[in-house]
Amino acid sequence: MQRVHLTLQVNGEAQEVSFAPYKTLLEVLREDMNLTGTKHGCELGECGACAVLVDGQPLLSCLELALECEGRAIETVEGLANGSALHPLQAAFADLGGAQCGYCTPGILMTAKALLEKEPEPSRERIREAISGNLCRCTGYQQIYESIEEGARRMREEA
Amino acid sequence: MNAPERLKQRTRFDTVGKPRRRVDGRAKVTGLTRFADDVVLPRMVHCKLLRSPHPHAVIEAIDFEKAARHPGVHLVLTGKDFPISYGILPVTQDEYPLANERVRYVGDPVAAVIARDEQTAGEAAELIEVKYRLLNTVSSAEDALANPEPRIHDYGEQGNIHRLQAFEFGDVAEALAGADHVFEDLFFFEGNTHLPLEQHASVAAPDGEGKLTLWSSTQVPHYIHRALARALRIPAAHIRVIACPNGGGFGGKCDLHNHEIVVSRASMLLGRPVKICLTREEVFYMHRGRHPVLMKMKTGVTREGKLTGMHLQTLLDGGGYGSYGVASTFYTGALQTVTYELPRYKFDACRTFTNKPPCGPKRGHGTPQPRFGQEVQLDKIAEKLGLDPAEMRINMVAKPDSLTANWLKIGSIGLEECIRQVVEHSGWKEKRANLPPGRGLGIACGSYLCGAGLPIYWNKMPQSGVQILADRSGQVTVFCGATEIGQGSDDMLAAFVAEVLGIDAFDVRLVTGDTGLTPVDLGSYSSRVTVMMGHAAIQAAERMREMIADAAAMELEVSPERLVMAQGRVFLSEDPSKGMTFAEAVVYAETKYGTLGTVGSYSPPRAPGRFKGAGVGPSPAYSYTAVVVETEVDQNTGWIHVPRIWVAHDIGRAVNPVLARGQVEGSIYMGLGEALMEEQVFRRLPPKMSHALVHKFPSLLEYKSPTSLDMPEVFTYLVEDPDPNCPFGAKEVGQGPLLPVMPAVANAIYDAVGVRIDEIPITPDKVLRALEKKAKGEVPRVGPEHFPQVPYPTPIYVKTPWEGGDGNETKPADRKQRQALAS
């Protein structure tokens, strides 16, 4: 099948990439752009491990054709840190046990970032709702809530 | 003071016990942790497996001509390419990487295609034509007992019985006859699966010398290394297995997997890297998860609520292959004596083969099922005797530094304190039996191994080894075969070494889980890493510390005993200003001793049991947990809501409290999933389709697991009673806290609405059925109604430690003779 050739905006950088047109954003990020920070747990939109931000909205990259992402702002876990300084959410997850095996972590970090950009001080209930599409088999979620709350607190301090 | 004494007297810690960011935390939050599917190599090609659509069939012919000619295909492999059987346990070498003539479950791999990309490999696999001759299928353990033919395997006890085991510790019939009450219950625990978020992946590649390297999602690189050498007939020295950090394991990545052998062989044939990543559906077929177990439990008690004896019978549905099943079968009985005082104990077990994905070890390995039974039965006993279930348990807790009826050596026990903690914090005394209708509290306890006493293949070598290098730059590099599966294996290793050398955990460089570089550690299973690797790490670090302190002492002209190593410095204990940096001290040590390297290793103490089968159950220490669960049950719909759980875990000492809490809460989460919703179940396709036995829902959406919205508030209490047999007193925390959750939920439901659900999972339909029975005045219980005839053998009879036993079997003849003499 003829490959398509286009420019994707990933983490603020314009990158030319060519790929088979049936490929999902997940596949193009991981396989054609070497951005393996974004994970997959089902490739059917069931687990949330592949969540990235597209135009600021959390989106399951396994359900989105990369073709449809041309001209849209894509954010992945690789773009979260500011240089070598961790994003406050990342630091909080590392400090408070929000990441155990770390496999669901990129998807949850991106989902949490989108939440906090809209609601800088969400309640525990809002956090539970916001990440209810992201499965985690390790933590029991509690340390994830605490990491998001702490990340939010640090973000408000920085702001 | 020598090293062991210094360790024993140690009360002040710089790293151990402090909440810290785990050493691998940064990689996990930046996406830099390299899981197996993140490994990408030049010239890499991709593998897809063709799997059987039939649960039981003979392969009569395979035609892969079209697939081989499909553009982009490099290689097609079938069972003919893999004539050697393998299996993770030496006694069950019953699998083939690709089925050689028989398939035994839907999903059993039959052929492999290696192509330029996954898409092409998948397309070509569909072009392979396989001619099957269908055989009758066995769908459950009872089905296996009733249908000895056709045999799923031509080995085992008889028919479709894989394994029978029977043990008796003291005369149990006598113990039951002498009891004030005897309780007999049937319980069933449905199978469920690990569901790690990371799908299994492997990359195999020949290195520059033509030797094989395998990167894989595995918890046990050493066992894989060993088994792979046998399966491929390649010298172990020519194979390097690298365990990538696992995206969750929970026991599901402990087998040598068929796809690991397939890509290894393919890469050697093609001379280039070959990758496979299972789909989520295939992960359900790989399984090796919780065995479905039917149980019959007969327990004698005194009117004061003390156990007099127990007779437990278990029947396991093992699925299509052996896997770890022989060990799982032992574990359905072996740890039943460790939580409470049990003077006499009899245990019969049977594992069957069925035409379903093989069962194996999942978190708690074989022990959650009987734990569920015992803890629910204790609730029934307490009610009958009019005792408080928490008080009754406190009065029967096993004794520290004791032997059990089946000859297990227990060290420290913090269970009584655990029970007191959850009772106090949950408001147990005021709330239980006093909450409004529909709301209730339930309690349950449990105990677990801190590492299996024996390895899975017989040897007397260390079970964990650690090597440390230090050089003039001040750098400390630690090598160990232990494997990071999310639980914090790497962080434990760094913490132990850092503590002994007085440096920061972040200043330790780690090389782990790589059979080409690291000393053997048996892997991340049986909750063994903290204890076994910890001992080895401390020994290696103490040896390094000795050289560094010695050289520094010479330079400072003091005796080494007077030196302290802490906070990156080596200094005089009475005058901290007199000293040097750690890096300076390493320079003196390298000057004095030459290149600096030390090793440490650990073997568990020999267990006191001497009878055949005594090898399963011993551990250097046991952890203890108590759980109180609160439930709200809607009596119209049967819907179960769990708002709060209190858990106290006897961890000995928490090395990193952040991680310890995460392990406890993760166990509570997984236990709650098993209690309420998770089940690996099967259905038959309609006869006109094939009547095949297929997985009911091999998808993450339909296999229900708790989301953030289902998860209750969890209150965690760590009870620290350092165990003398553990490194700095630290016991396990990754598995034990799961065990009491399921029975505590069942007991809480009884407190809420007065119905007994004697099987797992407890779903709303079962609760409704029990409520209907209650309304009609019938016994308000849902659970198994009968236990089939199982040809259990005459048990191995062993006298208990308190009845003159020596840990050996007493042969039946001896026993009769002695009984005659005694009378």
pLDDT tens-digit series, residues B53-74: 999 999 999 999 999 999 999 9
d(C-alpha B260, C-alpha B226), whole Å: 13
Backbone φ and ψ for B195, nearest 5 degrees, come out as: 55, 50
Would you call B110 exposed, middle or buried from its count of C-beta atoms within 10 A (0-12, 13-18, 19+)?
A: buried
- How confident is the model at residue B1, as a pLDDT? 44
The CATH architecture annotation of domain A88-158 reads Orthogonal Bundle (1.10)
d(C-alpha A28, C-alpha A31), whole Å: 5
Helix (H) or strand (E) holding B51: strand B45-51
- How confident is the model at residue B821, as a pLDDT? 66
CB-CB under 8 Å, B707 with A132: yes
d(C-alpha B522, C-alpha B531), whole Å: 12
Helices (H) and strands (E) in chain B, counts: 21, 34
Taking the Cβ of residue B700 and every Cβ of chain A, the question of whether any pair is shorter than 8 Å is answered with yes
Which residues lie across from A34 on neighbouring strands? none
Chain A residues touching residue B709 (CB < 8 angstroms): 128-129, 132
List chain A pLDDT tens, one digit each, 159 residues.
Answer: 799 999 999 999 999 999 999 999 999 999 999 999 999 999 999 999 999 999 999 999 999 999 999 999 999 999 999 999 999 999 999 999 999 999 999 999 999 999 999 999 999 999 999 999 999 999 999 999 999 999 999 999 988
Q: Please name each of the domains of chain B with its CATH number.
A: 3-33+461-602 (3.30.365.10), 36-135+199-245+253-286 (3.90.1170.50), 165-192+289-453+611-782 (3.30.365.10)
Taking the Cβ of residue A44 and every Cβ of chain B, the question of whether any pair is shorter than 8 Å is answered with yes
Helices (H), B147-278: 172-177, 221-232, 258-270
Strands in B563-566's sheet, in edge-to-edge order, are: B563-566, B569-572, B579-581
Residues 534-553 of B with CB under 8 A from A: none
- How confident is the model at residue B494, as a pLDDT? 98
- How confident is the model at residue B11, as a pLDDT? 72
In this structure, is the dihedral angle defined by the CA atoms of residues B178, B183, B186 and B191, taken in order, positive or negative? negative
Of B26, B40, B700, the CB nearest to A47: B700
Which two tokens mark B33? 């942790």
The low-confidence residues of chain B, meaning pLDDT below 50, are 1
Helix (H, G, I), strand (E, B) or coil at A156: helix
What is the DSSP pairing of strand B102-103 with strand A73-75?
unpaired
Q: Among B647, B177, B182, B253, which Cα is nearest to B446's?
A: B647
User: How crowded is residue B222: how many other Cβ atoms within 10 Å of its Cβ?
Assistant: 24
Name the fold adopted by A4-79.
Ubiquitin-like (UB roll) (3.10.20)
d(C-alpha B582, C-alpha B13), whole Å: 17
Residue to test with chain A: of B33, B707, B708, most A Cβ within 10 A: B708
Please state the domain extents for chain A. 4-79, 88-158
Q: Running DSSP on this structure, what letter comes out for residue B533? A: I
**Mean pLDDT (chain B, rounded):** 96
Residues 51-70 of A with CB under 8 A from B: none
Q: Running DSSP on this structure, what letter comes out for residue B60? A: E
Chain B residues touching residue A154 (CB < 8 angstroms): none
pLDDT digits (tens, 9 = 90+) for A126-136: 999 999 999 99
- How confident is the model at residue A82, as a pLDDT? 96
Chain B residues touching residue A78 (CB < 8 angstroms): 30-31
Which string of DSSP letters, residue by residue, matches B377-444?
Answer: HHHHHHHHHT--HHHHHHTTBPPTTEE-TT--EE----HHHHHHHHHHHHTHHHHTTTSPTTEEEEEE
